[in-house]
Structure 1
Amino acid sequence: MTRRIPLATLAAVTIALTLSACTAAPEPTPTPTPPPTETATPAPEPSVSETPEPEETPQAAPTCETIIAPSTVTALSDHGWTHREHQFRLGEDVVEGGIQCVWGDYTVASDHVQVFGWAPMDQAASNTAQQKLLSAGWQRADSDGHVYITENPDTAFAVDEEGFGMTYEFGDGWVTVADTRRGLVLVEFE
């Protein structure tokens, strides 16, 4: 004998089994979703361009008040001295862009003055000027890496304690002058 299960019962059992299987199965554990990562846009690569070199600030023109220290200007002024401005000269030659100042008391007749000067000078002009002075009887007196050309002490109008009269100091791109070598320390134009 063959048992037949009515179709309605079979459908009910299938539905029941399907529903129980759905409820009996463990719910899947949620896997944590990683937080969204920001996609960093790569920074643009710096462009390779030449940075222009800063332009040199043009140097102010030298004046009788700027080629020596402000304290020296004050001391001379407090003493009642004023200055007269002249062209910077090396013998008969005028050095363009330079200045030579003679400080003194111009209210009285006196030869008691102080001379200070500064001028720009490249190396070729410096070599030529030094040779001209030496051939005119001036003397070279190098000291501490500085080149000094000083007038002959036998014919100098006035000399300092070391016997130096009017003296030129030649540096890198400049020349200075003072009525004595010792006076050159007061010239400080940059």
Structure 2
Amino acid sequence: MIPRITSATAGAFLLLAALTGCAGPAAPAPSPTAEAASPTPRATTEPIDTPATEEPAAEISCESMISAGTVEALTAAGWTAKPKEFVIGDVTLTEGLLCFWADYAVGSDHGQLYGWSAITPEDAASAQTALLASGWTREDGPEGTYITEDPQYSMGTDEDGYGMTYLFHDGWVKLADTRQGLVLIEWAG
């Protein structure tokens, strides 16, 4: 039995030698270049010329003003939005939008209100003065100035007791039916 193993092994070696002999010459090893020898990339002071692609500014809508998850939840519940003119006292905010989300297939006063608008400092001062004169309260915070309706007249309040609330910041104002609802407004203008 030893001769068979030996002849099988010899046959395998001959086949391997024949196949190796048919192979072409080995490729020469690449020679190192100056760039390959330098392990650190070189910084350039030349500006890279890239084409400017500027996205057109999207227009505010009831769907774009609030988070996509909120829109999805409201529409899944059968609610739709009706846009309204955004007015605070005698200040009409033409660069914004007020949206009342509800199920308009049934007669109900249950819904959610969201609004956003750009606002000038003069209009913000006038709107805040009108709200405060009507019994609303003011709180200053790191996010801006909150003006909230008196909770005893509110249609609903959040878990902290806040009803309809405006948030005034530099150049814009938000409105939601509760103070906590303001976080759902993602529009930045």
The two structures have a TM-score, normalised by structure 2, of 0.67
Aligned partners of 1:61 and 1:97 also within 8 Å: no
User: Match of 1:107?
Assistant: 105
**Higher share in strand:** 2
What's the offset of the Cα at 1:124?
2.2
Paired positions, count:
136
Aligned partners of 2:91 and 2:126 also within 8 Å: no
1:146-157 equivalence runs, <5 A: 146-157=144-155
Q: State the alpha-carbon separation in 2 of the partners of residues 58 and 135 from structure 1.
A: 40
Unpaired stretches in structure 2, ≥5 consecutive residues: 1-51
CA separation of 1:141 and 1:188: change in aligned 2, threshold 3 A? same
**Higher share in helix:** 2
User: Match of 2:159?
Assistant: 161
Q: Secondary structure at the match of 1:154?
A: helix
Q: Alpha-carbon deviations, 1:104-155, whole Å to 9, x = none?
A: 1111111110000001012222122111211121100223342100111122
Question: After the TM superposition, which of the residue ranges 112-121 and 124-133 deviates more from structure 2?
Answer: 124-133
1:107-126 equivalence runs, <5 A: 107-126=105-124
Q: Alpha-carbon deviations, 1:12-42, whole Å to 9, x = none?
A: xxxxxxxxxxxxxxxxxxxxxxxxxxxxxxx
Aligned partners of 1:140 and 1:147 also within 8 Å: yes
User: Match of 1:179?
Assistant: 177
Q: State the alpha-carbon separation in 2 of the partners of residues 136 and 172 from structure 1.
A: 23
Q: Secondary structure at the match of 2:174?
A: strand
CA separation of 1:137 and 1:178: change in aligned 2, threshold 3 A? same
Q: Secondary structure at the match of 2:125?
A: helix
**Which residue identity lines up with residue 148 of structure 2 in the other structure?**
T
CA separation of 1:186 and 1:145: change in aligned 2, threshold 3 A? closer
Q: Secondary structure at the match of 1:95?
A: strand
Q: State the alpha-carbon separation in 1 of the partners of residues 128 and 98 from structure 2.
A: 18
Q: State the alpha-carbon separation in 2 of the partners of residues 121 and 86 from structure 1.
A: 17
Larger Rg belongs to: 1
Q: State the alpha-carbon separation in 2 of the partners of residues 131 and 91 from structure 1.
A: 9
User: Match of 1:97?
Assistant: 95
Superposed CA RMSD in Å reads: 1.8
The two structures have a TM-score, normalised by structure 1, of 0.66
